């Protein structure tokens, strides 16, 4: 145990009992007239904004989207209370734009008692006063849209806070509109087999189910397999009412100008669902229908980490999350398995790209006509990659993520290599996640320019190391991680082939060998994250343009480190990356 336990992936770790609450794991740019942007339903024109992927309509902007995830409490504080706010996000939109990101995912900003940092929503339609007002949020949408930046809010559909008014009503002994809004048994003495629950807290005779922490009662979308008389079918009017209430919340924010949602624990709706999660899937398909009809430019991106399920059930994109041993984990966070860190992106990890491909390729092949897989640099639930990788290793890692298909996400601060602050005291239910949530490091002023509050009153302490990275330190160094990330994002915007829909083909990948070579349309890409020179012989097909039958010349258009190409033989020096254009 010791360090190993601390370093564990902690998304959806067991919380209340020794039993998992949720087996998540199942976890064109276009010119816009400033004055007319705001709502899709007002400005939507099919030909301009749409494309068909498979038989689905897709918001066209996703194709070239590069997201930036903002944890609102730690991005930028403008009123010096030590907590980031909406005005702070507005102030930094030009930074996001300059980085090249054209979309935001903002973690929950709703009214909340903050026992799970806002994922315990007390009022879905109210902005938490600590972040600002509804006017601020509407201004954020407008200001982002002026800069061609789309904004996704975080939708929490599986549970509310125990302080939500629906729950207060649901607890009452007398039946009312909300009695069946949550999952309740019908006897104070009868729990819920296989699920966490709470008894003894309500006037009503029954126990209620939890979805995550104790403060997060599960909303009632019914049961896939009914084994007790208090369980409802997903078709029960009470469960349909829950779904409709969720749609009402979505409409509320879409009408205010948001561009869609990242969806929290999206697979958790129907309890004891079948192995394909088909009942939960039906709910999302119904929601997608609403979006396709009324908000066709809105996107929904799921925390499901099972693209075959999520993308075939209505989501536009699904996150590839860090789950121990999965393909994504083997790339950069394989520090939990015995025998050392064998991450492919760790220079001395002696990793194996096949471990990634064997997991990723079937997912990609099965879903490429349905939607997108989202690679993340990190998120608010995952240890920052800088925990185990150096800034040089991160350059190569971000190069990989920004040149793979799908819709990539950069977690705030990863563009400068912010550290995971191991061992911080827990904040608002963060526990080991707290170390990835420390305030953004902007410059050399007080609290790295995050806030003018006293250091002691910052939401979470900051990196005290002498070499703590800041935007200011890196912005004028062409070789910095920040400028490398910027250049990679710009490259992705420049080449259609690099974007979400561009094809993906493995050219050279061998067990425990470097380099890894792949094609995106007419771009040939090679990566050697290891600390040793590596070479491979490429077949003539690797150099054949999609539209021609003859071998084309390969011109380097982007590189990190050095490489040489002579004939069909590619030599990649230690820690190198290159993108060739075939012409
Ligand atoms: C998701 C969120 C996480 C939250 C949990 C419960 O995993 O990303 O931060 O604690 O769901 O809502
Ligand atoms: Ca503030």
Which of 9, 10, 11 is the best mutation target for the ligand 1 pocket, counting ligand atoms within 8 Å of the beta carbon and taking the most?
Answer: 11
| Ligand closest to CA 73 | 2
Backbone angles phi, psi at 578, to 5 degrees: -150, 145
Write down the pLDDT at residue 23: 25
List the single range of 226-240, 429-443, 509-523, 539-553 with lowest mean pLDDT.
539-553
Given the DSSP bridges, would you call strands 299-302 and 563-566 parallel, antiparallel or unpaired? unpaired
> Does residue 558 have a pLDDT over 70?
yes
Task: Please report the pLDDT score of residue 50 as a whole number.
Answer: 47
Q: For the residues 446-453, what does the mean pLDDT come to?
A: 98
Dist CA 287 CA 270 (whole Å)? 15
The yes-or-no verdict on residue 1 having pLDDT over 80 is no
Report the C-alpha gap between 497 and 146 in whole angstroms: 27
Average pLDDT over residues 133-156: 98
Place of tokens 């639930």: 381
**Residue 13 pLDDT:** 31
> What is the sign of the dihedral through the CA atoms of 26, 250, 233 and 310?
negative
Q: For ligand 1, what atom is nearest to the CA of residue 211?
A: 6
The mean predicted confidence, pLDDT, of the chain is 91
Asked if residue 155 has its Cβ within 6 Å of ligand 1, the reply is no
210, 212, 217, 383: residue to mutate for ligand 1 pocket, most atoms within 8 A of CB: 212
3-state helix, strand, coil in the chain (%, to 5): 30, 20, 50
**162 CA from centroid of ligand 2 (Å):** 25
The answer, yes or no, to whether residue 183 has pLDDT greater than 80, is: yes
Q: How confident is the model at residue 298 (pLDDT cuts 50, 70, 90)?
A: very high
DSSP strand pairing (505-508 vs 534-537)? unpaired
pLDDT for 572 equals 98
Q: What is the pLDDT of residue 8?
A: 32
The confidence band for 49, taking pLDDT boundaries of 50, 70 and 90, is very low
Expressed in angstroms and rounded, the spacing between residue 451 Cα and the centre of ligand 2 is 8
Q: Which atom of ligand 1 is nearest to the CA of 24?
A: 7
Q: Is the pLDDT of residue 79 over 60?
A: yes
Confidence of residue 200 (pLDDT cuts 50, 70, 90): very high
298, with CB counted inside 10 A (0-12, 13-18, 19+), is: buried
Residue 546: pLDDT band with limits 50, 70, 90? confident
Residue 264 Cβ inside 6 Å of ligand 1? The answer reads yes
Contact 59, 298 (CB under 8 A): yes
What is the pLDDT confidence band of residue 551, given thresholds at 50, 70 and 90? confident
Answer whether residue 43 shows pLDDT above 80.
no
For ligand 1, is residue 378 a contact (CB within 6 Å)? no
The residue whose CA has the least distance to atom 9 of ligand 1 is 381
Q: How confident is the model at residue 53 (pLDDT cuts 50, 70, 90)?
A: low
For residue 582, pLDDT beyond 50? yes
pLDDT at 204 over 60: yes
pLDDT at 46: 31
Question: Does ligand 1 come within 6 angstroms of the Cβ of 265?
Answer: yes
Does the pLDDT of residue 493 top 60, yes or no?
Answer: yes
The secondary structure of 305-370, three-state, reads CCHHHHHHHCCCEEECCCCCCCHHHHHHCCCCCCCCCCCCCCCCCCCCHHHHHHHHHHHHHHHCCC
**Is the per-residue pLDDT at 583 higher than 70?**
yes
Average confidence (pLDDT) over 206-218 = 98
> Would you say residue 138 has pLDDT above 50?
yes
pTM of the model: 0.92
Is it the case that residue 30 has pLDDT exceeding 50? no
Range of lowest pLDDT (286-295, 329-338, 558-567): 329-338
Task: Render pLDDT for 317-362 as a digit per residue (tens, 0 to 9).
Answer: 999 999 999 999 999 999 977 889 999 999 999 999 999 999 999 9
84 CA → ligand 2 middle, Å: 5
pLDDT score at 2? 29
**DSSP 8-class letter at 220:** -
Long-range contact set of residues 508-512: C-beta below 8 Å, sequence gap at least 24: 508/536, 508/538, 508/542, 509/353, 509/354, 509/357, 510/354, 510/536, 511/352, 511/354, 512/350, 512/351, 512/352, 512/354
pLDDT over 90 at 159, yes or no: yes
| Nearest listed ligand to the Cα of residue 452 | 2
Ranges 13-17, 304-308, 330-334, 336-340: which has the least confidence: 13-17
Q: Whose CA is nearest to atom 2 of ligand 1?
A: 264
**Residue 33: band (very low, low, confident or very high) from pLDDT cuts 50, 70, 90:** very low
Ligand 1 centre to CA of 119 (Å) is 6
Atom of ligand 1 nearest to the CA of 119: 12
Q: How many CB atoms lie within 10 A of CB 362?
A: 13
Distance 70 CA to ligand 2 centre (A): 14
Burial status of residue 523 (CB atoms within 10 A of its CB: 0-12, 13-18, 19 or more): buried
The pLDDT value recorded for residue 52 is 52
Cα 215 to the chain's mean position, in Å?
23
| pLDDT for residue 60 | 96
Lowest model confidence (mean pLDDT) among 34-48, 203-217, 255-269 = 34-48
């Amino acid at each position: 145990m010791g360090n190993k336990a601390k370093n564990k992936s902690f998304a959806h770790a067991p919380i209340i009992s020794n039993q998992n609450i949720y087996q998540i794991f199942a976890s064109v740019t276009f010119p816009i007239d400033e004055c007319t942007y705001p709502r899709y339903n007002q400005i939507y024109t099919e030909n301009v904004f749409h494309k068909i992927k498979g038989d689905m309509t897709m918001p066209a902007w996703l194709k070239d989207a590069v997201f930036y995830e903002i944890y609102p409490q730690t991005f930028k504080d403008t009123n010096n209370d030590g907590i980031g706010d909406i005005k702070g996000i507005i102030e930094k939109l030009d930074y996001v734009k300059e980085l090249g990101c054209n979309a935001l995912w903002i973690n929950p900003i709703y009214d909340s008692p903050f026992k799970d940092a806002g994922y315990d929503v007390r009022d879905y339609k109210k902005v938490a006063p600590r972040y600002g007002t509804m006017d601020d949020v509407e201004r954020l949408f407008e200001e982002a849209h002026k800069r061609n930046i789309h904004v996704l809010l975080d939708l929490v559909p599986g549970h509310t806070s125990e302080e939500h008014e629906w729950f207060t009503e649901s607890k009452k002994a007398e039946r009312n509109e909300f009695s069946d809004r949550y999952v309740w048994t019908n006897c104070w003495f009868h729990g819920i087999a296989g699920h966490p629950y709470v008894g003894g807290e309500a006037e009503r005779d029954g126990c209620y189910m939890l979805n995550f922490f104790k403060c997060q009662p599960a909303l009632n979308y019914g049961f896939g397999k009914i084994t007790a008389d208090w369980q409802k079918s997903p078709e029960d009017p009470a469960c349909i009412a829950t779904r409709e209430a969720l749609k009402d919340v979505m409409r509320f924010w879409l009408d205010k100008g948001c561009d869609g949602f990242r969806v929290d624990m999206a697979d958790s709706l129907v309890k004891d669902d079948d192995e394909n999660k088909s009942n939960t899937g039906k709910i999302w398909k119904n929601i997608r229908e609403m979006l396709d009809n009324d908000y066709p430019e809105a996107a929904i991106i799921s925390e499901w980490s099972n693209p075959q399920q999520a993308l075939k059930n209505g989501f536009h994109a699904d996150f590839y999350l860090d789950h121990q041993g999965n393909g994504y984990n083997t790339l950069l966070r394989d520090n939990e398995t015995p025998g050392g860190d064998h991450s492919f992106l760790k220079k001395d990890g002696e990793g194996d790209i096949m471990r990634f491909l064997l997991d990723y390729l079937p997912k990609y092949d099965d879903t490429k006509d349905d939607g997108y897989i989202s690679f993340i640099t990190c998120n608010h639930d995952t240890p920052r990659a800088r925990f185990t990788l150096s800034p040089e290793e991160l350059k190569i890692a971000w190069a990989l993520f920004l040149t793979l298909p799908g819709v990539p996400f950069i977690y705030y601060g990863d563009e400068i290599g912010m550290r995971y602050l191991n061992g911080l005291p827990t904040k608002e239910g963060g526990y080991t996640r707290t170390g990835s949530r420390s305030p953004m490091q902007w410059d050399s002023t007080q609290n790295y320019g995050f806030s003018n509050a006293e250091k002691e009153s910052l939401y979470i302490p900051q990196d005290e190391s002498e070499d703590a990275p800041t935007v200011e330190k890196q912005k004028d160094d062409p070789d910095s991680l920040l400028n490398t990330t910027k250049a990679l994002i710009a490259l992705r915007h420049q080449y259609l082939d690099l974007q979400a829909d561009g094809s993906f083909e493995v050219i050279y990948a061998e067990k425990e060998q470097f380099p890894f070579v792949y094609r995106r349309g007419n771009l040939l890409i090679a990566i050697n994250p290891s600390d040793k020179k590596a070479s491979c012989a490429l077949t003539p097909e690797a150099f054949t343009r999609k539209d021609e039958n003859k071998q084309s010349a390969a011109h380097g258009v982007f590189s990190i480190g050095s490489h040489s190409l002579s004939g069909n033989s590619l030599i990649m020096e230690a820690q190198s990356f290159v993108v060739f254009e075939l012409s």
